[in-house]
Amino acid sequence: MTTMPTVLLYDTTLRDGTQGEGISFSLLDKIRIAQKLAGFGMDYIEGGWPGSNPKDLAFFTEARKHDFGKTKLAAFGSTRRAGIAAASDPQLAQLLEAETPVVTIFGKSWKLQVEKVLGVPHEENQAMIRDSVAYLKSHGREVFYDAEHFFDGYKDDADFAMATLAAADEGGADMLVLCDTNGGTMPDEISEITAAVENRFPGKVGIHTHNDCGMGAANALAAVRSGALQIQGTMNGYGERTGNCNLTTVIPCLQLKMGIPVVSDLTRLREVSLFVDELANCHPDVRAPFVGSTAFAHKGGMHVNAVAKTAAAYEHIKPESVGNHQNILVSELSGRSNILLKAEELGLQLSKSDPAVLRVLEKIKALESEGFEFEAADASLDLLIRKELGLHAPLFELQGYHCSFRRDAAGSSTTCEATVTVRKGTELLIMTADGDGPVNALDAALRKALQQLHPWIAGITLSDYKVRIVDGGRGTAARTRVHILSSEGSESWGTVGVSDNIIEASWMALVDSLEFRASKR
């Protein structure tokens, strides 16, 4: 019986991840992410570089107040500077002051970097690596050596690159981490070179890849096949340039495809991914493998017909195994199976012979030819199906609405005002409200009118608003599609409206939002 290797997960979201454009975490964010990752089962979490900025220094001070269970925190830094003793290097002193059980330092493994960037003799570069590792080890730390630019250095001069690893090994490094810093190495090269290093330094090889060629995850897995026992990466692939090895891809590949267990509860993967995106203030990548909202989405009628019979026909794993779910999309490409499965997903029971199925399908195709799109508008689709089944009860009857725009004489102040007139039974409700724009004013006026009868409407917020021109060739007369995302507490739902008039398109989406929520109460 073959024993599967143990592969350790080293998360560097809090350092490498923050080097990505637009990614920034507060001190509290970093603590919360570290706690989340520890709870998920990361073996190591790199908290930052205490010598580079006050926030990272503060993180390690704050982290000492928290329990991260079996997860070990790591402080990151560089080797000693040239020409001074390791004990005299202030940066190494700060790494020790972080009081983490693990310290990760990087050094130069490419002759080009040593000669052109550092400008030191080869022997001094090796001494900087050896001395720094030995000094940190003498203080009882677990020490990982990140061999920066290792693969470029190996291809340039294999003996030189190997000598830098030997220096770290002589200093007592616990792990020799091979870095594809420029992200330009191919999987076959990674595999071959990692195997050569593993043969020289068995049981001590780790991998750190970047995604510049879209190979970050593939390269990390190739290294594991060749003996690497530690993978460094970031959640959601955050990182400099095009990002780092994406752990949300690597983790399920290790566990589900390669049979190497790395976390105890893989079903939390999507939850953790979304949590990190939320604190990073980033929109989740809908097409991300395993965790994206479209990772298990089916649109073509033939595909949907197949997954209705057996999900394995077009799904390589069970979505639930990574905390995701199957998503049946409905569009002009749909067949009856799409409608049946979508109705079931929405809690509506239909049979294939039900005439309403064909009516719904034809209605969707007609609306999509006009510019509607229901893939991100489940609430509007739900209402469409209910209307065709005769199950929809309108929340109100619209009598009319009006929007106006005023600017003061000096031109320094503008006001949008909307008046909405609706009827509910025998009661006529007329309300006026101001807003930042016509849509905001309309939304406010409609809410004021209906809240008198339905107080729950006060708890609904408009969390996103998107406008797309459907047929730009018509210029200002083009049809406009409006998508609105509404939410109440932790629940959210999407609606859509299409019209030649952007106000009317917005009105349609706003009304669908409230009517959908009313149907669920």
What is the predicted pLDDT for the residue at 447?
87
What phi and psi, each to the nearest 5 degrees, are found at residue 326?
Answer: -70, 140
What is the predicted pLDDT for the residue at 336?
59
Within 10 Å of residue 405's Cβ, how many Cβ atoms? Answer: 11
What are the E-state strand segments in 115-174? 142-148
Q: State how far the Cα of 349 lies from the Cα of 335, in Å rounded to an integer.
A: 17
What residues contact 384, with CB distance under 8 A and at least 6 apart?
Answer: 360, 363, 364, 367, 374
- Strand 491-499 and strand 480-488: the pairing is antiparallel
Q: Which of 260, 243, 252, 114 is nearest to 180 (CA)?
A: 243
Output the 3-class SS for 169-207.
HHHCCCEEEEEECCCCCCHHHHHHHHHHHHHHCCCCEEE
What is the predicted pLDDT for the residue at 293?
77
What is the predicted pLDDT for the residue at 492?
83
What phi and psi, each to the nearest 5 degrees, are found at residue 447?
Answer: -65, -45
Q: State how far the Cα of 386 lies from the Cα of 342, in Å rounded to an integer.
A: 12
DSSP for residue 473: G
Domains, the chain:
8-280 (3.20.20.70), 297-369 (no CATH), 397-519 (3.30.160.270)
Q: By three-state DSSP, how is residue 143 classified?
A: strand
What residues contact 480, with CB distance under 8 A and at least 6 apart?
Answer: 467, 468, 469, 470, 498, 499, 500, 501, 502, 505
* Rounded alpha-carbon distances, angstroms, from residue 352 to 357, 374, 474: 7, 21, 40
User: What single-letter amino acid sits at 115?
Assistant: E
What residues contact 156, with CB distance under 8 A and at least 6 apart?
Answer: 110, 111, 112
With beta carbons less than 8 A apart as the criterion, state whether 328 and 345 touch. Answer: yes
What is the predicted pLDDT for the residue at 176?
98
The answer to pTM > 0.75 is: no
Spell out the per-residue pLDDT of the chain, length 521, in tens. 455 679 999 999 999 999 998 898 889 899 999 999 999 999 999 999 997 778 888 999 999 999 999 999 999 999 999 999 999 999 999 999 999 999 999 999 999 999 988 899 999 999 999 999 999 999 999 999 999 999 999 999 999 999 999 999 999 999 999 999 999 999 999 999 999 999 999 999 999 999 999 999 999 999 999 999 999 999 999 999 999 999 999 999 999 999 999 999 999 999 999 889 888 888 888 889 999 877 777 665 555 556 556 666 666 888 888 988 766 555 544 555 666 666 776 676 777 677 777 777 778 778 877 888 777 788 888 888 888 878 788 888 888 888 888 776 666 667 889 999 988 888 888 989 988 888 888 888 988 888 888 889 888 888 888 888 876 555 555 688 898 888 888 788 889 999 988 889 999 999 999 999 988 87
Q: At what angle do helices 301-309 and 336-345 cross, to 10 degrees?
A: 60
DSSP for residue 472: G
DSSP for residue 217: H
What residues contact 146, with CB distance under 8 A and at least 6 apart?
Answer: 104, 105, 106, 107, 177, 179, 208, 232
**Which residue is listed with tokens 């400008």?**
119
What residues contact 267, with CB distance under 8 A and at least 6 apart?
Answer: 320, 321, 322, 323
